[in-house]
């Protein structure tokens, strides 16, 4: 069929080349170049995808900083998305630290500097009252997974305002890479309700709404309008809340968890990841969790979520809630959390030491510090979700090592510049005895250390939710996801807790199956004729070139 022409060049051809989901770059064949009117718009060489991957990885490796590599990858994602995902699948462990933590943190901080092309949806507060109209105007009818942030607690880097958009973009890239969700069916969203980051407000380059954060009833009404618009436009979509500040994270999850398929990744995804790490480490250390104490340092959204899921696990092993609670010691900025002494939030109140123990814990009205808590509780496990760089110093690690043959140390805060400890320091200070997991990728003397990050959980939760059609995302799904992840024994010898990030796609499939089974058991989801496994496999979008005229 003859193509419409514009100045001698096919305008459809130009549209294809500028659509990242249809563009193939130099991999358009001679036949396609003839048929689509692409001659002249491309250099002569006809490449294969394999050749393109080799060329791109060579160029990427030549950049000297992770940030430059990040910008190069984002540019590729915005010009040729199929190639971006093929590259990611081929070199996942090498590229994960770029598209995700730690580099995505720097990318959020410098978002305005590298902003080039529209991706995702910026719903800023001045658009209130028009949110459904904006969603309705989008051509994306089949959105399956949404990741939304308001940018207030970006990793451990605090308020990044509109720059927080880097996180939903990164998370959804991993939904596609690991769980095979079609990129056309994902939607990154930034709720731009302002920023209280004065540096951003003063920065002439800042691309967000230059206004202090809207809070209270106005914020709640804006989020409510957003959720209702999502429900109306994409009634079946999964909504993932990401990197909201602690109080909003908890409140919004509580408000919406029964109204649509939704979860908070920092609370629930992280909890499942940490529980999986603890279950795997329990095996390695040869201990029984119900006999041992756990210290969680940083009792915010992630820390409280982790404590709750561990409590659920201990109760499922036969302890009463009270006995299980006796195993948890949550430490925040004012020391060990003790009821009516230094508890600030309702989530903290649920995991604090009871007030009846206050006299036993307090010294001159002071709650014990982290190290004092470790000396007294002699925990087997120490988890960091405080965003406090190097809070696990030498005395802390030495205390953990004195009380355990194999201390389990999980500094989970991201990015690496906010981690409570580096794997290398923990290894040195524990004389190589610690079992370690870090939130961002890191190395010890025996190579890569396990990355204990919710990227091991959320893609599988999302895929399972989409395939099963679950209308609610339940706590049982996270508990089963944790058990599933802990059961996946790494190929490598040594102290690895999970298979390496190279295996994230298989892991997502396994977790998705566990989620589908929970949906069937608890929510009455009906397995398709071929079974859940086939449905999961059949749902995968693969990064292979398709005919650009009928994508």
Ligand X SMILES: NC(=O)C1=CN([C@@H]2O[C@H](COP(=O)(O)OP(=O)(O)OC[C@H]3O[C@@H](n4cnc5c(N)ncnc54)[C@H](OP(=O)(O)O)[C@@H]3O)[C@@H](O)[C@H]2O)C=CC1
Instruction: Indicate which residues carry an active-site annotation.
Output: 100, 171
Residues that bind ligand X (CB under 6 A): 153, 155-156, 246, 266, 270, 273, 297-303, 332-333, 385-388, 412-414, 418, 439, 452-454
From candidates 106, 159, 243, 425, binder to Mg ion by CB under 5 A = 243
Residue 414 interacts with ligand CC(=O)C(=O)O (CB under 6 A): yes or no = yes
Q: How far is the CB of 153 from Mg ion (least distance, A)?
A: 8
Residue 149 or 510: which CB sits closer to ligand CC(=O)C(=O)O? 149
Residue 10 or 156: which CB sits closer to ligand CC(=O)C(=O)O? 156
Q: What does the DSSP 8-state code read for residue 45? A: P
390 is in an annotated binding site: no
Q: Is the peptide bond before 415 cis (omega within 30 degrees of 0)?
A: yes
Interaction with ligand CC(=O)C(=O)O in 446-465: which residues (CB under 6 A)?
Answer: 453-454
From candidates 81, 106, 266, 332, binder to Mg ion by CB under 5 A = 266
Report the C-alpha gap between 281 and 289 in whole angstroms. 10
Q: What helix, strand, coil percent values describe the chain, rounded to 5?
A: 50, 10, 40
414 is in an annotated binding site: yes
Report the C-alpha gap between 465 and 522 in whole angstroms. 13
Find out whether 135 and 226 touch, Cβ atoms under 8 Å. no
Residue written as token pair 């618009």: 229
Q: How far is the CB of 294 from ligand X (least distance, A)?
A: 16
Residue 160 interacts with ligand CC(=O)C(=O)O (CB under 6 A): yes or no = no
Q: What Å distances lie between residue 55 and 26, 97, 109, CA to CA?
A: 11, 20, 29
50 is in an annotated binding site: no
540 is in an annotated binding site: no
Residues in the chain: 551
- Which residues are registered as beta bridge partners of 339? none
Strand residues in 351-496 grouped as ranges (E): 381-384, 408-411, 435-438, 443-444, 447-448, 450-451
Residue 52 interacts with ligand CC(=O)C(=O)O (CB under 6 A): yes or no = no
33 is in an annotated binding site: no
From candidates 266, 420, 495, 509, binder to ligand CC(=O)C(=O)O by CB under 6 A = 266
Helices 246-256 + 216-233 axis angle, to 10:
40
Report the C-alpha gap between 49 and 51 in whole angstroms. 5
Residue 153 or 233: which CB sits closer to ligand X? 153
Q: How far is CA 524 from the centre of its chain?
A: 28
Could you report how far apart the first and last alpha carbons of the chain are, in Å? 18
107 binds, among ligand X, Mg ion, ligand CC(=O)C(=O)O, none (CB under 5 to 8 A by kind): none
- Which residues are registered as beta bridge partners of 9? 6
Binding site for ligand CC(=O)C(=O)O (CB under 6 A): 101, 155, 243, 265-266, 414, 439, 453-454
Residues annotated in the binding site, as ranges?
Answer: 153, 242-243, 266, 414, 453
Binding residue numbers for a divalent metal cation: 242-243, 266
């Amino acid at each position: 069929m003859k193509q419409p022409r514009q100045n001698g060049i096919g305008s459809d051809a130009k549209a294809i080349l500028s659509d990242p989901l249809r563009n193939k770059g130099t991999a358009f064949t001679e036949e396609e170049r003839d048929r689509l009117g692409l001659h002249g718009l491309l250099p002569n060489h006809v490449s294969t995808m394999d050749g393109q991957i080799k060329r791109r990885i060579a160029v990427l490796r030549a950049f000297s900083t992770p940030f430059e590599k990040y910008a190069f990858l984002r540019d590729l994602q915005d010009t040729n998305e199929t190639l971006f995902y093929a590259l990611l699948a081929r070199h996942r462990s090498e590229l994960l630290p770029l598209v995700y933590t730690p580099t995505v943190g720097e990318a959020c901080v410098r978002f305005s500097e590298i902003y080039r092309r529209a991706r995702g949806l910026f719903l800023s507060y001045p658009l209130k009252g028009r949110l459904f109209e904006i969603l309705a105007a989008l051509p994306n009818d089949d959105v399956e997974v949404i990741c939304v942030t308001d940018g207030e607690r970006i990793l451990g880097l605090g308020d990044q305002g509109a720059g927080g958009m880097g996180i939903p973009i990164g998370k959804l890239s991993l939904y596609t890479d690991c769980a095979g969700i079609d990129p056309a069916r994902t939607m990154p969203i930034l709720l731009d309700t302002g920023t209280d980051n004065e540096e951003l407000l003063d920065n002439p380059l800042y691309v967000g709404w230059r206004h202090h954060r809207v809070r209270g009833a106005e914020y709640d009404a804006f989020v409510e309008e957003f959720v209702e618009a999502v429900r109306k436009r994409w009634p079946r979509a999964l909504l993932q809340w990401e990197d909201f500040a602690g109080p909003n994270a908890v409140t919004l999850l509580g408000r919406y968890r029964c109204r649509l398929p939704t979860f908070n990744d920092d609370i629930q995804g992280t909890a499942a990841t940490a529980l999986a790490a603890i279950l795997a480490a329990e095996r390695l250390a040869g201990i029984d969790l119900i006999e041992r104490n756990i210290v969680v340092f940083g009792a915010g959204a992630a820390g409280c979520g982790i404590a709750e899921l561990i409590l659920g696990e201990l109760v499922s092993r036969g302890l009463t809630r009270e006995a299980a609670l006796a195993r948890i010691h949550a430490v925040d900025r004012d020391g060990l959390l003790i009821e009516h002494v230094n508890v600030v939030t309702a989530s903290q109140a649920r995991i604090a030491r009871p007030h009846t123990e206050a006299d036993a814990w307090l010294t001159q009205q002071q709650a014990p510090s982290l190290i004092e808590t470790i000396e007294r509780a002699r925990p087997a496990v120490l988890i960091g979700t405080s965003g406090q760089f190097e809070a696990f110093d030498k005395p802390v690690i030495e205390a953990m090592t004195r009380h355990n043959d194999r201390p389990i140390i999980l500094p989970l805060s991201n990015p690496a510049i906010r981690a409570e400890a580096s794997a290398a320091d923990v290894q040195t200070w524990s004389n190589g005895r610690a079992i370690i997991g870090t939130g961002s990728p890191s190395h010890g003397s025996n190579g890569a250390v396990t990355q204990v990050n919710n990227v091991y959980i959320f893609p599988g939760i999302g895929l399972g939710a989409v395939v099963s059609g679950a209308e609610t995302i339940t706590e049982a799904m996270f508990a089963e996801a944790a058990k599933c992840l802990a059961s996946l024994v790494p190929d490598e010898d040594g102290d690895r807790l999970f298979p390496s990030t190279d295996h994230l796609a298989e892991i997502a499939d396994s977790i998705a199956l566990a989620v589908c089974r929970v949906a069937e058991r608890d929510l009455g989801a009906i397995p398709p004729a071929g079974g859940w496994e086939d449905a999961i496999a059949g749902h995968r979008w693969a990064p292979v070139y398709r005919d650009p005229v009928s994508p």
